Amino acid sequence: MKRRVALALLLSGLALGCGEDAEDEAPLPPRPLSVMTFNVLCSVCNPSEYDPWEARLDYFADLFARHDPDLIGLQEITPLAGEVESLLATLPGRKALFFEQEDWPPYPDAAIFYRTSRFRVLEQGEYWLSPTPDVPRSTGFAKPQLPRLVVWARLLDKAGDREMFFASTHFDNNSPSQELSAPLVLERTAPLAQTLPVVFVGDFNSQPSDAAYATLTTDASHGFVFQNAYDLAPKPGIVENQDPDPSYDPADRIDHVFVAGAGVTWTASSWAADLFVYGDKRRYPSDHFAVVTTLDR
């Protein structure tokens, strides 16, 4: 019941203390921030080409353990019962923030997973990628379009006793939804970017050559633009366990870790797409590659 009350508060955008996270603690020394974004492929999608969800949970557990990210944006978690909980079981020491309303089943899709020993949630909320962003589950940027949202949180990073803004999203794959979602994200992020460091991750269904990506990274009409951690890292690349080495073209990537913030100079010491394969059939755990980067400011 406590979790449902806390998640109901998410809808109102009220300040929220999360149980033991809200207790007074001595700040930790500043340290780099490990961030991941990963579209996990819905549990009922494409069963002929990918292993069952239960097997893939084991693959996720290995992936998460190898990278051990502090903040994670996951996408394509379906409203089926138990999926958030099953993912949390692969992420010890974390909690999840996602959309849930008392009179509707949960709609996680884009969700935030955070390390409780490092972060305290100060405020959280969501908005929908539609012409009516404050109307839950609204659509209208494309036909057809699934309900798509941004889940966000203002966090206290106990490592340095510093606040930051973190968000996870999943742009719809039907055009022009991406092109219309990008200006909305800039508009909604702008007030936060004036005062806080921002990390914004997700499946944007937008390659670096696409119009939506250009809007996010070059349209300064809201007073800021996003930088991609890929461009900040000295040697972006892949991690893999295949023989021969797999091919990977970064020009095709649609999953991004963006950073912003007035007066904030972000650096990225690493950026990698995870191309590990698993199981007897040596399959990928998803139709997307997890992206992980180490950031500092």
Residue 130, pLDDT above cutoff 50: yes
- Single pTM value for the model: 0.91
pLDDT for 11 equals 35
Mention every residue, 6+ apart, whose C-beta is less than 8 A from residue 24: none
> Residue 99: phi, psi to the nearest 5?
-80, 130
Percent of residues, the chain, with pLDDT higher than 90: 87
Residue range 162-207, pLDDT digits in tens: 999 999 999 999 999 999 999 999 999 999 999 999 999 999 999 9
The per-residue pLDDT for 25 is: 66
- How far apart (Å, rounded) are the C-alpha atoms in residues 180 and 266? 27
Distance CA 5, CA 18 (A): 11
Q: Is 60 exceeded by the pLDDT of residue 293?
A: yes
Given a cut of 90, is residue 23 above it in pLDDT? no
What is the model's pLDDT at position 2?
A: 35
CA–CA separation, 95 and 272 (whole Å):
24
pLDDT computed for residue 1 by the predictor: 37
Say if residue 21's pLDDT is above 60.
no
Is the preceding peptide bond at 246 cis, omega within 30 degrees of 0? no
Give me the mean pLDDT over the 24-31 stretch: 78
Q: Given this model, what pLDDT does residue 233 score?
A: 98
d(CA 84, CA 88): 6
Mean pLDDT of the 100-127 span = 94
The DSSP H or E segment spanning 5 is helix 2-12
Asked if residues 169 and 133 have their Cβ atoms less than 8 Å apart, the reply is no
The mean predicted confidence, pLDDT, of the chain is 92
Where do the domains of the chain lie? 2-11+31-296
The CATH architecture annotation of domain 2-11+31-296 reads 4-Layer Sandwich (3.60)
Instruction: Indicate the pLDDT class of residue 101, thresholds 50, 70 and 90.
Output: confident
Radius of gyration of the chain (CA): 18
pLDDT(17) > 90:
no
pLDDT digits 0-9 by tens, 49-100: 999 999 999 999 999 999 999 999 999 999 888 899 999 999 999 999 999 9
Q: Mean of the pLDDT values across residues 152-159?
A: 98
Helix (H, G, I), strand (E, B) or coil at 6: helix
pLDDT at residue 9 tops 60: no
Structure tokens at 254: 């649609």
Residue 87 identity (one-letter amino acid) = L
Q: Encoding tokens for residue 294?
A: 């180490």
Q: What is the mean pLDDT of residues 24-32?
A: 81
Mean pLDDT of 131-154: 97
| Listed residue (231, 286, 272) closest to 49, CA to CA | 286
